[in-house]
Amino acid sequence: MPLRLLSITLLALSLAACFKPEIRQGNFLEKDTVALLKPGMSQAQVLAIMGRPMIQDPFHPQRWDYVRWVNPNNGRPIQNWRVTVFFHNGLVASVDEPPPQNPETQVQLPSINDLAPLPQTKTGAPPDQGQGGGTSPPR
């Protein structure tokens, strides 16, 4: 009995060591979103477009760094992308966007176009509004 328990434990531990989850850290950056950044925009506009920066250094408040780092852990190369926004007097002065590392393997977020269309309802039949069968409450 102890030998069987030991072999099951060793098998479970060896199988658990095979799983390596993908590690994603930072902001999810897209070229279309970064392209919306223009000189003269306020910090509030940048926040609305890009979200909170990954790095907002208190010693350099005029610089916001957006960083994306993905380690797929399946043999594919690590993905890195960094965008730095520089401000002057609270307005965007410049955007530094070096080319991403391994751009051909960048993970893309699904868009609204990737969704399946909603099923068609019968013509003339009103959609169910969740009102409990259409009966009115007693008065």
Sheet with 63-71, strands from edge to edge, namely 23-26, 63-71, 79-88, 91-96
Of the CATH numbers 3.30.70, 3.30.1450, 3.30.460, 1.10.3470, which one belongs to the domain with range 19-100? 3.30.1450
Q: How many CB atoms lie within 10 A of CB 93?
A: 13
Domain ranges of the chain: 19-100
CA distance 39 to 85: 10
Q: What is the pLDDT of residues 29-71, one digit of tens each?
A: 788 888 999 999 999 999 999 999 988 888 999 999 998 888 7
Q: How many CB atoms lie within 10 A of CB 15?
A: 9
Q: What is the pTM of this model?
A: 0.58
Q: What is the pLDDT of residue 7?
A: 82
Q: What is the pLDDT of residues 84-139, one digit of tens each?
A: 999 999 999 999 988 777 666 555 555 556 666 666 766 655 555 555 555 555 55
Residue among 80, 84, 85, 67 nearest 106 (CA):
80
Q: What is the pLDDT of residue 31?
A: 82
Q: Which residue has the higher pLDDT, 21 or 5?
A: 5
